[in-house]
Amino acid sequence: MDATAINDSGVGRTAASITLENLGKVYPDGTVAVGDISLEVRAGELAVLIGPSGCGKSTVLRMLNRLIDPSKGRILIDGQDIAAQDPVELRRHIGYVIQNVGLFPHQTIRTNVGTVPRLLGWDKKRTRARAEELLELVGLDPKRYGGRYPHELSGGQRQRVGVARALAADPRVLLMDEPFSAVDPIVRGRLQEEFLRLQETVRKTIVLVTHDIDEAVRLGDRIAVLAEGGRLLQYAPPAELLSEPASEAVSEFVGSDRGVRRLAVTKVREIMRPVGRIEEIERLPTVDADGTLYDALAAMLTSDALNVVAVEDGTPVGTVSRSSLFDVPQQKKAPATA
Ligand SMILES: Nc1ncnc2c1ncn2[C@@H]1O[C@H](COP(=O)(O)OP(=O)(O)OP(=O)(O)O)[C@@H](O)[C@H]1O
């Protein structure tokens, strides 16, 4: 995936800033989905919307492409109020990636990716060339996959086609609603990595909705934490959110989830300390150094120990204390260059 692969119509030069000004949405039945949100997403940045189910994340996203209109406030894209723009025209310049992708089942992958360019009236040759370029950009060989149908691809591959389709017409903005949630955790991790690399290349302005704090921390330049009633609790870069949560509510939301997730995804060897700090290691329970922190905790709980010895081929290579299982490391992330 190199930059020369994206020479059609200047991908990467068209990111737009997004401004929400006192944005609110009350549905006709009186449900306050979004309270009063003001925030700015700088051009080329990825902003994550996160919060519990029903806190208004998807409603914000749907207001951004005018699938629904706000009850109050404004949305500006590159300083222009989108309320004054034709919704259909607007949507053609906003990529939209949703859970389960929503590919057209009876169209080939190549045709799916070319959907928006076709709508924009590009000729056949240019549309096809663009579709192939995009498939390559997301790591799918167009010769191998271009002629297939969606059901002939894996879930992860379909997800990449969804991203390719959303990027095909070089949108100013990319909206992503739980884009990686339909695939298993290992594929999700790989897609997230690939997506970060892709974003380095195309530098779109992206608003991504997720309920997964690990995903938010991994992908976001900034994270907006929402609460019930569409209230914005904090909008900050990941490291700041983790180290300086603005309120108890944010701290709970970010902290509890992180702590638990970390146990399942972190290997013992990543946090173990050198052997030697603890006496009588032969009396302590052991765990494989490549096991997870969950395994370590289970070993400690079973033998009522405060420490566990990590072993590799039967040889002690480190120790882990029960309290260190719950130390949440601060995640640092390089600041985005717009
Ligand atoms: N058309 C509608 N009419 C009435 N209420 C609605 C409508 N659409 C959504 N809501 C309500 O608005 C609130 C916000 O919904 P929204 O889908 O934006 O939340 P969300 O944060 O994306 O949730 P989830 O994480 O579960 O997808 C919820 O209480 C929901 O029930």
Q: What is the full DSSP assignment across 54-120?
A: TSSHHHHHHHHTTSS--SEEEEEETTEEGGGS-HHHHHHTEEEEETT----TTS-HHHHHTHHHHHT
For tokens 């309320």, the residue is: 83
Q: What percent of the chain stands above pLDDT 70?
A: 88
Question: Measured from the CB, is residue 210 less than 6 Å from ligand 1?
Answer: no
**Mean pLDDT on 127-147:** 89
More confident residue, 325 or 61: 61
Query: Which amino acid is it at 285?
Result: P
| Ligand 1 nearest-atom number relative to CA 29 | 4
Q: Find out if CATH 3.30.1330.10 is the number for domain 265-325.
A: no
Instruction: Look at residue 337 in the predicted model and tell me its pLDDT.
Output: 40
Say whether 265-325 and 16-255 share the same fold. Answer: no
Rounded distance between C-alpha atoms, residue 207 and residue 196, angstroms: 14
Instruction: Give the start-to-end residue ranges of the domains of the chain.
Output: 16-255, 265-325
Residue 258 has pLDDT above 60, yes or no: no
pLDDT digit string, tens, across residues 70-109: 999 999 999 999 999 999 888 888 888 877 667 888 999 9
| Site to substitute for ligand 1 among 23, 25, 26, 27, most atoms within 8 A of C-beta | 27
**Mean pLDDT on 161-179:** 86
**Mean pLDDT on 275-301:** 83
Q: Tokens at residue 91, please?
A: 């949507």
pLDDT digit string, tens, across residues 180-210: 876 777 777 777 887 887 888 888 899 999 9
Q: What percent of the chain stands above pLDDT 90?
A: 38
How far, in Å, is the centroid of ligand 1 from the Cα of 42?
26
Q: Tokens at residue 62, please?
A: 């749907």
Structurally, at CATH architecture level, domain 16-255 sits in: 3-Layer(aba) Sandwich (3.40)
- Name which of 200, 255, 224 is nearest 61 in CA terms: 224
| Site to substitute for ligand 1 among 23, 25, 29, 31, most atoms within 8 A of C-beta | 31
Residue 329: pLDDT band (50, 70, 90) is: low
User: By alpha-carbon position, which residue is closest to atom 18 of ligand 1?
Assistant: 56
Question: Measured from the CB, is residue 57 less than 6 Å from ligand 1?
Answer: yes
Question: Measured from the CB, is residue 56 less than 6 Å from ligand 1?
Answer: yes
